[in-house]
A and B are shown apart, each in its own frame.
Chain A
C-alpha cells in the first residue's frame, strides 16, 4: 500500500473520532494529530478490513469463552455469569510516561506501608496532627483487634492496585488506592491473552512490555514469604458467588497456588491449617481475596459465615503472613486522600510524584467552605466510603445534586453531616479509542495498575487493565454498569523477547508434586461424580420408560407401570417428560463443579454447564413417548462427552480419583437397585431386557449370549463380569485401584475401614456364581456399597 492510500485508510478509521474539547485524549493530541506512540498500532488497524476485524475480535472473544473467563453481574433478582466485556482496542502508553508513572506508584506504595504501620502501631499521624482521629476511630475498616500486630514478614502490604486517570492537562491522578484485597492482576493477564490473539500478527513486533516477569517476581516473593516454614501458600477466596471468583481460580492455576475457602481452614494450636484428604496441613502464607472484616467471626464480624475463627489471633502471633495484612482496607477511605499529600511532604520532605484526586474533608471549616463554594465541580460523598470516586453510588452527589434527586439539597447534607463527608474534584477523565458499532470513537477510561513487593522492593506491573465507558458518561465505567475492559500496552523503544511464566529456568528439570487435596475440593469432586452418574442412570431409565410407553401406548401396561413405579420411587415424576428432579440433579452437579473450577478443566466445566442448560431448555417438553426418547438420547450423547473429557483429558490427580470413585460407587449402587427389581423372577415380562438396557449392556449381552436374556445371563453380565465396564465388579475393581492411590504415603500398607469394605465386597462378588445372587443377596450387596460410601466420607471427606 502506498503512503497516500494508507493515510486515506487511517482517515477512514478516524472519521468518527472526535475527542471533546477540554479533556485529554489518549490517541490524539489537542491539535488532532495522532500521538507517535500510537502510530504503529493505528496504521496496522487501518489496514484491516471490517470483516477481518470482526474475525479477529471474534477470535479474542472465543479465546475468553474457551478459557472460561466470565464476570458475575448482579441484578435485583440475583446474579448471572456474563461474557467478559472485552474492549478489543488496547490503551497504548509510551515508555517515558510509564517510567514516571511507575516512580510515582512506588513512592505511593512506600508511603501507604508507612501509614498502615503507623495506624496499627504508634498512631503518630494522629498525635502529631497529620490525621484527624475520628477518620480512624470511625472507620469500620480500622480493625482494633489488629492494632499492635507486627507482621511476620516485617511488612503490612505486599500487593497494591491503584485506579488512575488522566486529567485534562495530561497529568495522571490516583483516583483510588486499592489496599484491602486488590482484584484484577488475573484480569490484566486474561485481557493480554485475548488482545494478543486479536492482534496476533502485530503484537509480537509491537515492543509491548510483557507481564510474565512481574508475575514471576510476585510468585517468587510469595514463596519467599514462607521463610523457613513448611507451610503452603494459598489464595483465600470468599467463594464462587463473589464477582471476581473467576480471577481467583485463574490466578491460582496460573501461579500454582492452592485456592481455599474459609471452610478449608482451621486454626489448630495457634497454627493455620488446611483440611486435606490426608489430615490438616500447615498454611504459611495467605493471599487474601476476602475482605478483612469477614475473616474471623470470633474477633471481627461475628455474623460472617465466610471467616475462620482464630485467624486474627494466628496473625497476631506471627503464625502466618497475610497479604495484605488484615485491616488494610483502612487505607481505601476517600478522606485519607485529603491528607496524604501533607503526610508525604511531612515525612519525606517531597511532594507526591503521582498526586491523587483533589479531596477535601468537610470536617474542617476551611475545607467545608471550599467545597460549598465550588459545589458545581465537586463529587460529594461519604468520607469513609471505599468506592472509587467515579463509581457513583446513591450516596454520592455530583455537581450539587444527587443522581436520583431524591435526597434533598446537598447544602442541607453538608450542614448536618459535614464530618462524615468529603468533596472530590470532578475531574474530566481522558478518553481512549473504543470500537463501537464499527466506528472508532473516544470513550472515557480509567486504568488499574498493580505494584507488588518483591525482594528488590516494589515492582510495578508493566501494563494493567483499563475500564472503558460504553457511553460518554464518565461515571458509568464499571462492568456492572455496562462498561468494558481493555488491555494496556506499555510500548518500549526496543523489541521485547517473548516471555511466559513457564519460561525455561536454569538447572535440572524438577517435576512439581501437586499439593494435598483440600477436603472440600475432594468432597465436591466426589459428589460431582455421583450426581453426574445418577443423572445418567435416570436419563437411561426415562428413555427406557418412554420407549416402552411409545410401544405399548398405554401407561397401564404392566411393564410400563412397573418401570414407572420404579422411577417414581427414585424420586422422579414420570408424568413429566423431563422431570423437575432431573434438572435439579444437573444443577447439583453444576454446583459442585462450580466450587472446584480451579481443579477442573474448562472444557469439563463447559460440558457440565451445557448439560444443565440443555435440560432446562427441555423442561417445557410436553410430548411423552418418542419425542422424550429423542431428548434423552441427546442428553446421553452429551453425558458421554463429559465422561470422555473426564477420562481422556483430566490429569490423574487425587481430585480425578475422587470424581472417579464417586461415579463408581453411584454406578454400583444404581445397578444393584435396578437388579433388585428387574432381575426379579416375579417381575413382568421384558424386565430383564430393561435391566440390560439401562445398564447399557445390550450389545454385549446379545453378542455373548445368543440365547434370549434370562436371569443368570443378566446377573452374570451386570454383577459378576469384570470385563463389562458397567458391572458391579468392574466398579469394585475401580474402587480398589483408586483407593490404593489416594492413601497417605505413610499409611500405604495399612488397611482401613474403607479398604477393608471394598476388598471384602470385591472378594465376595469375584467368588460368587449367578445362581447365588438372589434378590436378598442383591439387597445385601447394595447395603455394602452404601457402607463403602459412608467409610469414604468418614475417612476422607469429613
Chain B
C-alpha cells in the first residue's frame, strides 16, 4: 500500500545586519529507499549560491553545499517535491530476545554505513547519563524481544514526557529535557536514542516530514509544522532496522517521509551554516506535506 505526497519545505533566515559571506550545507532532500521513492524534487536557494555542489554523505544522505560570496540580509532554502511512500508496517516480530542483542551486534564485523556499531557509542549530541539509563533499564525486561523493548521504551517515554514546543531549543541536551519531562520531537528522539543505547540496542536519528493534514477521522500528529524527528533502532540481524516515533508513540510508516539518517541531530541537521552575523537573526521553518491521492482506507 502506498501514499503519494507533495512536500514543500522552506527555511528562511533574516539578519539584522547583512551576514558575512558564507557556506551552507543542507540535508533537506528526502532519501530514495526501497520503501520510499523520490519521484521528483529539487533543493533551491534564494538568492542562489555562487557555488553549489550536490553530493551524498557517509550515511547516504543527500547534501547540497552552497557558498555565497557576498553578504546577505536574508536567505531562503527550499525543497519542493513529490514522494511515494510504501512502508510495510511490521506485522510480526522477527527480533530475538533483548539478551541476545549484544551478541548479535558483536557478530557484525563492519564499519560500513549500515553497521549497527556506529549507533552504540556516544555521539556528539547523545552521551550516556545515569538518569536516562536507569529509566531504560526500569522499562525493559530481559525476556522481552528487542522490538518489544524498543516499543516499550517509546511508549514509556510518550507517557512520561509532555510535548511542549516552548520548553526547549534546538541546542537543548537530552538530559535537561528529560529532567523537565518536556520537549519537542528532537528531545524525544535524543532521549530515546540514549535510552536504547543504554540497553545495548543500536539507535540513531531520523529527520523527515510527517503529513500535515491527518486522514479523516484521525488526530493531527505532533511535529507537522516543522521538520520532524524520530528513532531508528537495530533489532538484530533478522529484524534489521525499525523506525519508531516516540513523540507520537507509533511505528513510523506511511505518514513519515525520511530525509536523513544519522547518529543524532548533528549528523542530519537540515542546515549547517557558517553565515557570520551580528545582531539579531530570525529563522522561519515552513513545512507542508499533503497527500495527493487520498490513501485507501486501512
**In the bound complex, how far is the Cα of B117 from the Cα of A144, in angstroms?**
13
Contact with B along A740-774 (1 / 0, CB 8 A): 00000000000000000000000000000000000
A513 within 8 A of partner (CB): no
Assembly CA distance A145 to B274 (angstroms): 17
> Within A60-113, which residues are at the interface with B (CB < 8 Å)?
none
Which 8 residue pairs are nearest across A and B when measured between Cβ atoms?
A138-B121, A144-B58, A309-B23, A137-B117, A309-B274, A133-B117, A123-B111, A137-B118
- Give Cα A128 to B121, complex, Å: 22
- In chain B, what residue has the closest Cβ to A136? B111
Residue A382 CB within 8 A of the other chain? no
Tell me, yes or no, whether B115 is within 8 Å of chain A by CB: yes
16 more contacts with CB within 8 A, not counting A123-B112, A133-B108, A309-B23, are A119-B111, A123-B111, A126-B109, A127-B110, A128-B109, A133-B110, A134-B121, A137-B118, A137-B120, A138-B122, A144-B59, A145-B58, A267-B23, A298-B272, A313-B55, A313-B65
29 A-B residue contacts at CB 8 Å? A123-B110, A128-B109, A133-B108, A133-B109, A133-B115, A134-B117, A136-B117, A137-B115, A138-B117, A138-B121, A138-B122, A144-B57, A144-B58, A145-B57, A267-B23, A268-B51, A268-B67, A269-B50, A269-B67, A297-B274, A298-B23, A298-B65, A298-B272, A298-B273, A299-B25, A309-B22, A309-B274, A310-B23, A313-B53
Within 8 A of A (CB), among B34-77: 50-51, 53, 55, 57-59, 65, 67, 69
A147 within 8 A of B: yes
Q: A133-B117, A309-B274 are in contact. Are A269 and B51 (CB under 8 A)?
A: yes
Chain A residues with CB under 8 A of B266: 302
Cα distance A145–B60 when bound, in Å?
11
> For window 128-151 of chain A, which residues contact chain B by CB distance below 8 Å?
128-129, 133-134, 136-138, 144-145, 147-148
List of B residues within 8 angstroms of A123 by Cβ = 110-112
User: A residues near B, CB below 8 A?
Assistant: 119, 123, 126-129, 133-134, 136-138, 144-145, 147-148, 267-270, 297-299, 302, 309-310, 313
Are A302 and B58 within 8 A (Cβ)? no
Residues of B with C-beta under 8 A to A127: 109-110
Chain B CB within 10 A, most for which of A133, A267, A268: A133
Are A270 and B272 within 8 A (Cβ)?
no
How far does the Cβ of A701 sit from chain B's closest Cβ, in whole Å?
48
B24: which A residues are within 8 A, CB to CB? 298
CB <8 Å contact, B65 and A310: yes
Give chain B nearest CB distance to A127 CB in angstroms: 5
Most chain A CB within a 10 A radius of its CB, from B59, B110, B117:
B117
Shortest distance from the beta carbon of A185 to any chain B beta carbon, whole Å:
32
Do B25 and A126 touch (CB < 8 A)? no
Q: How far is the CA of A309 from the CA of B49 in the complex (A)?
A: 15
Complex-state Cα separation, A123 to B113, whole angstroms = 11
- Chain B 112-131 residues near chain A, CB threshold 8 A: 112, 115, 117-118, 120-122
Query: A133 to B65, alpha carbons, bound, how many Å?
Result: 30
Report the bound CA distance from A119 to B112 in whole Å: 10
Which residue on A lies nearest to B50, using beta carbons? Answer: A269
A275 to chain B, nearest CB (A): 11
Select one of A136, A302, A310 contacting B67, CB under 8 A. A310
Chain A residue nearest to B25 (CB atoms) is A298
A133, B58: Cα distance in complex, Å: 16
Q: What CA separation (Å) do A133 and B107 show in the bound complex?
A: 10
Q: What separation, in Å, do the CA atoms of A136 and B117 have in the docked complex?
A: 9
The total of interchain contacts (Cβ-Cβ below 8 angstroms) comes to 70
Asked if A270 contacts B53 (CB within 8 A), the reply is yes
B65 and chain A: residue at smallest CB distance? A313
B224 smallest CB distance to A (angstroms): 27
Could you say which of B22, B53, B273, B274 has the most chain A C-beta atoms within 10 Å of its C-beta? B274
Distance in angstroms between the alpha carbons of A594 and B118 in the assembled complex? 43
Given contacts A134-B120, A267-B67, contact A302 B53 (CB under 8 A): no
Least CB distance from B12 to A in Å reads 20
Q: A136-B111, A138-B121, A309-B274 are in contact. Are A268 and B25 (CB under 8 A)?
A: no
B50 contacts across to A, CB distance below 8 A = 269
Expressed in whole angstroms, the Cα–Cα distance for A147 and B50 within the complex equals 27
Which residue of chain A is the closest to B272 with respect to CB atoms?
Answer: A298
- Tell me if B67 and A126 are in contact (CB < 8 A): no
Shortest Cβ distance from residue A267 to the other chain B in the assembled complex, whole angstroms: 7
CA distance A48 to B33 in the complex (A): 80
Residues of chain A within 8 A (CB-CB) of B120 are 134, 137-138
Please give, as numbers and ranges, the residues of chain A lying within 8 Å of B122 by CB-CB distance: 138
Q: Is the CB of B121 within 8 A of A137?
A: yes
CB distance from A306 to the nearest CB of B (A): 13
Question: Inside 8 A of A269's CB, which chain B residues have their CB?
Answer: 50-51, 67
Shortest Cβ distance from residue B200 to the other chain A in the assembled complex, whole angstroms: 11
A268 contact from B57, B69, B272, Cβ within 8 A: B69
Give chain B nearest CB distance to A121 CB in angstroms. 11
The smallest beta-carbon distance between B274 and chain A, in angstroms, is 4
Taking a contact as CB atoms closer than 8 A, the residue among A133, A298, A302 that contacts B111 in the complex is A133
CB distance from A298 to the nearest CB of B (A): 5
Decide if B274 touches A298 in the complex (CB within 8 Å): yes
* A309 to B115 alpha-carbon distance, docked (Å): 29
**CA gap between A147 and B117 in the complex, in Å:** 16
A268 to B51, CA, bound (A): 8
CA distance A648 to B69 in the complex (A): 41
In whole angstroms, what is the CA distance A297 to B108 when docked?
32
B26 CB, min distance to chain A CBs, angstroms: 11
Residue of B nearest to A148 (CB): B58
What is the CA–CA distance of A269 and B52 in the complex, to the nearest angstrom? 8
User: Residue on B with the closest CB to A143?
Assistant: B58
Task: For the complex formed, measure the closest distance between the CB of B66 and the CB atoms of chain A, giving whole angstroms.
Answer: 10
Residues of A within 8 A of B67 (CB): 267-269, 310
In the complex, chain A residues whose CB is within 8 Å of the CB of B121: 134, 137-138
Neighbouring A residues of B108 by C-beta, 8 Å? 133
Closest to A118 in B: B111
CA distance A310 to B51 in the complex (A): 11
When distances are taken between beta carbons in the complex, the residues of chain B under 8 Å from A136 are 111, 117
- Contact residues in A for B57 (Cβ distance below 8 Å): 144-145
* CB of A333 to closest CB in B, whole Å: 13
A325 CB to nearest chain B CB (Å): 16
Assembly CA distance A397 to B207 (angstroms): 42
How far does the alpha carbon of A145 sit from the alpha carbon of B22 in the complex, in Å? 20
* Alpha-carbon separation in the docked complex, A188 to B44 (Å): 53
Residues of chain B within 8 A of A298, CB atoms compared: 23-25, 65, 272-274
Among B25, B53, B69: residue with most chain A CB under 10 A? B25
Bound-complex Cα distance A128 to B110 (A): 9
Inter-chain CA distance A126–B55, complex, in Å, is 26
Contacts of A133 in B (CB 8 A): 108-111, 115, 117
- Smallest CB separation, A384 vs chain B (Å): 10
Nearest-CB distance from B69 to chain A (Å)? 7
Q: Determine the residue in chain B with the shortest Cβ distance to A129.
A: B109
Residues of A within 8 A of B274 (CB): 297-298, 309
- CB-nearest residue of chain A relative to B267? A144
Taken together as a complex, chains A and B put the C-alpha atoms of A665 and B117 apart, in Å, by 62
Give the most central of A138, A144, A313: most B CB within 10 Å: A144
Q: How far is the CA of A137 from the CA of B111 in the complex (A)?
A: 7
How far is it, in angstroms, between the C-alpha of A319 and the C-alpha of B65 when the chains are bound? 16
Residues of A within 8 A of B25 (CB): 298-299
Could you tell me the distance in whole angstroms from the C-beta of B56 to the nearest C-beta in chain A? 10
Task: Closest A residue to B23 by CB, please name it.
Answer: A309
Q: Which residues of B contact A270 (CB under 8 A)?
A: 51, 53
- Nearest CB in chain B to that of A307: its residue: B274
Most central of B25, B111, B117 by chain A CB within 10 Å: B111
CB contacts (< 8 Å) of A147 on chain B: these are 58
Residue of B nearest to A363 (CB): B106
Query: With A137-B121, A310-B67 in contact, is A126–B272 under 8 Å at CB?
Result: no
Residues of B with C-beta under 8 A to A297: 274
In chain B, what residue has the closest Cβ to A122? B112
Task: Tell me, in angstroms, the Cα distance from A685 to B233 when the chains sit together.
Answer: 87
B 170-190 to A, binary, CB cutoff 8 A, 1 in contact else 0:
000000000000000000000
Expressed in whole angstroms, the minimum distance between the Cβ of A792 and any Cβ of chain B is 20
